[in-house]
Structure 1
Amino acid sequence: MPAFTHDFPFDPSYGHTLDDLLAVPAPRAPTDFAAFWRARHEAARATVTTPVVGPVEEVRDGVRVHGVTYTSVGGVRLGGWLVLPETGPAAHGFVVGHGYGGRDEPGPDLPLPLPRSAALLPCVRGMGSRGRHPGIPAEADAHVLHDIGSRDTYVIGDCAADLWCAASALLELVPELGGGGTGEPPRLGYLGESFGGGLGALALPWDDRFAAAQLTVPTFGNHPLRLTLPCTGSGESVRAHHRAHPEVTDVLRYFDAATAATHLRVPTLTASALFDPAVPPPGQFAVHNALAGPRELHVLDAGHFAHEGTERETKALREARGTFFGKHLT
């Protein structure tokens, strides 16, 4: 285990060895867990996304970056970035989730894992410069609690739908990604880190347009365990809310990324950290351990924590990601 000097009032490794982490299970699912998510997915797939592409905002790393807007469930209009190859058609497509706090620019998600790729980088509702929506808090600590009183209103469910609608918008804008008239579903990849990793685990099991996924330090894994672990991330806000409203446990059961992972059967590369003050590692590993399909694990020394090896770890993960999608999307 890595030894880091820190001033957190708790141990961000939570006393777990790698062997301990590889044994963390998913919690027991509600009996109607799959039916709940399939119904939400069907509603999202029925949504007319009406994507609109703006002018080129930048050209770099062999791609053109455009602003884009699209409609998600509930008629919510969202923005983000559409990435297209600088020349020629796209051979691969990606939806790229973001961390809690959103995104104000495409950022380090470019370059994409494979050459000749198109991607849609959405800002989910409430988050980032292009996801602002009246009534939905923009700050992570408040956003994660928005409408948490019911499984049918909790904002996290709608954020997962924002990813499904982003995929629909991408396929409408880049028709060469849509199966090529073969009758086969598209073969999209998904990338998500932290908040985006947890959302990906929740969203992907129900959508056959995705053929592979890479989840980095995913959140929302094993809520019953997370509620016992202090952290600096949005989970601390949920812990405080739970102390005052213990009944929220019944809602959280439907938004557990580890539970959802038991239904995720496409090849998935998970990058999970041994030390992470924001997203407790036991929850991250619970997602990986529960995956129902082919899985690969990339162990990070630390997540959400800058250290001497950060640049090396970032480079190694980027290389692993390219190799992974090269196997499963080409």
Structure 2
Amino acid sequence: MPHFDLPIDQLRAYRPEVRVPAGFDTFWRQTLADARKAGGDPRFTPAETPLVGCHVLDVRFPGFAGDPIAGWLLLPPGDGPHPAVVQFLGYGAGRGLPHEYLPWVAAGYACFVMDSRGQGSTWGVGGATPDPHGSGPAANGVMTRGIEDPETYYYRRLFTDAVRAVDAVRRHPSVDAARVAVSGGSQGGGIALAAAGLSEDLMAVFVDVPFLCHFERAVGLTDREPYAEITRYLSVHRESAERVFDTLSYFDGVNLAALATAPALFSVALMDQTCPPSTVFAAFNAYAGPKEITVYAFNGHEGGAAAQWPRQVALLAGAARA
């Protein structure tokens, strides 16, 4: 697997012009206001698991349009209130099983895991959240569901769910609402960026090898899934490219990063052909808050894997004491 993208010195300076829709701020402000207006309270139900070192709650909280979204909340021992990390998932994954998320709890943090609506059947051990909203013709997967209009696009719903997940975890009495971080890799990294740009007063943001950034470059640079779903769609809907990329601009991590101000730790892999390095650096360089990035020169889409987590814990420990 070769280095195929820009050299590292050019990546560090890479600040491309991307489409910014004229109604971007209004679109998201209204979308989130409508979701909150739909009402509903999160429900936290004790879950039976073999785990004895933490308390596990099955969660249902209102997401986009008030739709019920599943999650897990794992609480460390003690009454709290505990700082919390909201974890977002990679493409095709569901919330899985609680024991998959023990590291944060072992480090003393509550961990809230958001299920990804309409996914959860590609890898892992499954999800529990349907997506009740239909769309027009789409390629296999979720990348092109409703892609001809930002109002109907799938990621409008998923990003709104993410912001409402932050709202929900702040409602639990064992969570310190002032000390909530968001985290994710690949699709989860793109969702974390969206949550960072659209939520207020986050403690920290962890963004690993993020998907959903600098769409026009990504689609033209890699033939890997899931970006290839967009390529496949446009190869059939030949007249739709302008509409499609206009829609995607509302959900581009580069635009959302420009709204985010919480301290952030990114990671990028220079041999990553799924989420090319230039697309990651485009979002990182646009990020408006304090930031740093870990570069893995000889890795693909696995990035730093478990090697990145201690860096995140160190940053979070400092943020939690601040």
Match of 2:107 in 1: 115
> For 1:61 and 1:32, how far apart are their aligned partners in 2?
49
Question: What is the CA-CA distance between 1:61 and the residue it aligns to?
Answer: 8.7
Contact (CA 8 Å) 2:85, 2:182: kept in 1 or not? yes
TM-score computed with the length of structure 2 as normaliser: 0.86
Q: Which runs of 4+ in 1 moved over 6 A?
A: none
Match of 1:132 in 2: 130
1:304 to 301, 314, 318: 301
> For 1:321 and 1:293, how far apart are their aligned partners in 2?
16
Change in Cα spacing, 1:329 to 1:239, as seen in structure 2 (3 Å) is farther
> For 1:65 and 1:274, how far apart are their aligned partners in 2?
37
Structure 2 counterpart of 1:149, one-letter code: E
> For 1:276 and 1:100, how far apart are their aligned partners in 2?
15
2:275 to 259, 266, 279: 279
1:293 to 272, 289, 295: 289
Change in Cα spacing, 1:233 to 1:74, as seen in structure 2 (3 Å) is same
Aligned length: 306
> For 1:329 and 1:42, how far apart are their aligned partners in 2?
29
Structure 2 counterpart of 1:226, one-letter code: A
Contact (CA 8 Å) 1:85, 1:116: kept in 2 or not? yes
Match of 2:164 in 1: 165
Structure 1 counterpart of 2:245, one-letter code: T
2:47 to 37, 44, 56: 56
> For 2:34 and 2:196, how far apart are their aligned partners in 1?
15
> For 1:93 and 1:46, how far apart are their aligned partners in 2?
25
Question: What is the CA-CA distance between 1:64 and the residue it aligns to?
Answer: 2.3
Change in Cα spacing, 1:133 to 1:34, as seen in structure 2 (3 Å) is closer
Q: Structure 1: 5+ residue runs without aligned partners?
A: 5-10, 179-185
Q: Does 1:99 align with 2:90?
A: yes
1:74 to 65, 68, 73: 65
Secondary structure, in 3 states, of the residue corresponding to 1:149?
coil
Secondary structure, in 3 states, of the residue corresponding to 2:203?
strand
> For 2:133 and 2:288, how far apart are their aligned partners in 1?
37
Contact (CA 8 Å) 2:139, 2:233: kept in 1 or not? no
1:242 to 234, 242, 258: 234
Structure 1 counterpart of 2:159, one-letter code: A
Contact (CA 8 Å) 1:63, 1:83: kept in 2 or not? yes
Contact (CA 8 Å) 2:82, 2:174: kept in 1 or not? no
Match of 1:22 in 2: 12
Higher relative contact order (CA 8 A, sep 6+): 1
Change in Cα spacing, 1:140 to 1:163, as seen in structure 2 (3 Å) is farther
Match of 2:77 in 1: 86
Change in Cα spacing, 1:174 to 1:22, as seen in structure 2 (3 Å) is same
Give a deviation string over 1:231-277, Cα, whole Å, max 9, x none.
Answer: 32211111222343213111111111012111211111001111113
Match of 2:154 in 1: 155
> For 1:230 and 1:222, how far apart are their aligned partners in 2?
12
Contact (CA 8 Å) 1:114, 1:322: kept in 2 or not? no
Secondary structure, in 3 states, of the residue corresponding to 2:111?
strand
2:194 to 193, 202, 217: 202
Structure 1 counterpart of 2:152, one-letter code: T
> For 2:223 and 2:107, how far apart are their aligned partners in 1?
37
| Cα RMSD after superposing both structures | 2.5
The farther-off stretch of 263-272 and 276-285 is 276-285
Question: What is the CA-CA distance between 1:69 and the residue it aligns to?
Answer: 1.4
Give a deviation string over 1:115-165, Cα, whole Å, max 9, x none.
Answer: 33222201121122112334669x994211111111111110110111111
Contact (CA 8 Å) 1:136, 1:143: kept in 2 or not? no
Structure 1 counterpart of 2:92, one-letter code: G
Secondary structure, in 3 states, of the residue corresponding to 2:141?
helix
TM-score computed with the length of structure 1 as normaliser: 0.84
Match of 1:7 in 2: none
Contact (CA 8 Å) 1:141, 1:234: kept in 2 or not? no
